[in-house]
Structure 1
């Protein structure tokens, strides 16, 4: 077993970090940078659905508790 030293160690660590970055980009970073695509998909999928009709237990639809009263 060889011990990595110097440039080989840096290259090895860089490959690991780069691989993790490439794997994370389409899962986490891309949706955060481009949410319009996902909003459009939600609008298409939720067409014709009223949230009040499907709310469980006759609960009120969620509203922002910190919303300023007008």
Structure 2
């Protein structure tokens, strides 16, 4: 009975880890893997936006997350 309980616990934990990984892939890992494609999409998405009109006062100005200093 203990082996069955351990297997069930492992499957539940593995399913949770898989679900979190599947959720993070398009949000975090895909832009890191395909930098040029992400930059083109962002250029299209941000076209026509005047930063000063949408940026709340006192906050840090938007920056390129891929730009290195």
Provide structure 2 residue ranges, at least 5 long, that are not aligned to the other structure. Answer: 62-69
Query: What is the alpha-carbon distance in structure 1 between the residues aligned to residue 7 and residue 14 of structure 2?
Result: 10
Runs of 4+ aligned residues of structure 1 deviating over 6 Å after TM superposition are none
Provide structure 1 residue ranges, at least 5 long, that are not aligned to the other structure. Answer: 64-70
Offset, 1:44: 2.0
- What root-mean-square deviation, in Å, do the aligned CA atoms of Structure 1 and Structure 2 show? 2.6
Alignment TM-score, normalising by the size of structure 1 = 0.54
Q: Count residues in correspondence.
A: 56
Alignment TM-score, normalising by the size of structure 2 = 0.54
Which protein has the larger Cα radius of gyration, Structure 1 or Structure 2? 1
